[in-house]
Amino acid sequence: QTVVTQEPSFSVSPGGTVTLTCGLSAGSVSTKNYPSWYQQTPGQPPRTLIYRTYIRSSGVPDRFSGSILGNKAALTITGAQADDESDYYCALYVGGDISVFGGGTKLTVL
Amino acid sequence: QVQLQESGPGLLKPSETLSLTCSVSGASLSSYNWSWVRQPPGKGLEWIGYTDYSGKRNYSPTLRSRFTILIDPSKNQFSLKLTSVTAADSAVYYCARGRVPGYWGQGTLVTVSS
């Protein structure tokens, strides 16, 4: 079974920069995995931040950016704000008409 | 503006069949793939499966056997059926656009309890 890996937790200082990553248990992530990133706060549906590796969804501030770093997809938040404190999930297309979510990263801003 | 809205029963008993419908507005079913995702309380997101306009579909290998996703273009809806539910199937169920989800519905909470 393909496993998508994310850091369980991360912390960043207000105004700081943080990079969350999304990897595969076997192999490297590429643009062909169509990496997407989601932000979720309690009781709310996920909000799509980034799709197809680096395309920001409408209304998403440009301090959120997506990329491929090494063999993983990455979400970078530049100038973190208090309301960025959320759970962040990535999803990858892993082939065979199947997508998989990562386990999520709990981001703390303090 | 694309909108997706899940509907279905909020409470089921063990062994019953769950049926959920996703009504889509602002987008044609024929232009995209359509997915179902669930999230158990306090846990992460789990991709269940997807369908395209023609009815081509696939499911997570870990969940495949009990789920069925169908599409009804005439109603601009697609649906999810889960047989023999157990407490472990209690979750918020989301419908979404895209095989890798893009637009999301608000989700519907399904509780399985005797």
Contact A58, A47 (CB under 8 A): no
B98 chain-A contacts, CB cut-off 8 A: 51
Task: Identify the band that residue A88 occupies on the pLDDT scale cut at 50, 70 and 90.
Answer: very high
Say how far apart CA A31 and CA A14 lie, in whole Å. Answer: 30
HSE toward the beta carbon, residue B31, CA cutoff 13 A: 6
Contact A1, B61 (CB under 8 A): yes
* Cβ within 8 Å, pair A46-B101: yes
Q: Tell whether A37 lies on the interface with B, counting CB pairs under 8 A.
A: no
Helix (H, G, I), strand (E, B) or coil at B66: helix
* Cβ within 8 Å, pair B44-A103: yes
Closest CA to B17 of B73, B85, B71: B85
Contact A64, A50 (CB under 8 A): yes
Contact A16, A107 (CB under 8 A): no
* DSSP annotation string for A85-109: -SEEEEEEEEETTEEEE---EEEEE
- Percent of chain A whose pLDDT exceeds 90: 98
* Cβ within 8 Å, pair A51-B46: no
Task: Identify the band that residue B7 occupies on the pLDDT scale cut at 50, 70 and 90.
Answer: very high
The pLDDT tens digits for B13-29 are 999 999 999 999 998 89
